[in-house]
Amino acid sequence: MEISDLISVEGVDANLRVTSKKQALQELSKRAAEVTGQHERAIFDVLMERERLGTTGVGNGIAIPHGKLASLDRLYGLFARLEQPIDFHSIDEQPVDLVFLLLAPETAGADHLKALARVSRLLRDATVCEKLRGTDDDEALFVLLTESSASQAA
């Protein structure tokens, strides 16, 4: 599974302006609704439910909020570079500025876990993250995400 299987240029935001974790999840839910055709509230609710189990702020300024929706037909990803870092209650207590949202059908099972692992592996690469943080263009971010993913898989 490649990042390009999950994300489209329309699912990338190079300058998301939010001031809190809740607002970030609301804005990403709105964008995800446009990309997936699902209800914004359903997406937000599933993300908040997941956050109540434990933060998806994985450290090093990165968060990977995720959830499952029965009505999805495939996995979807969205990426946002935040204009200003926010408190995401991350495991390392550092603010977050890179967010990769992952939504999966309830039936996804192993594919959901593979996608999470793929995104996590990509964002653990300090060089990739440095490039993502240095780019404020949606298309350039999309290219970085998808090309970096392809080169890591090789």
Residue pair 29/96 in contact (Cβ under 8 Å)? The answer is: no
66 in catalytic set:
yes
Active-site residue among 39, 66, 89, 112?
66
Rounded Cα–Cα distance for residues 122 and 152 (Å): 8
The bridge status of strand 76-86 relative to strand 66-69 is unpaired
Q: Catalytic residues, which ones?
A: 66
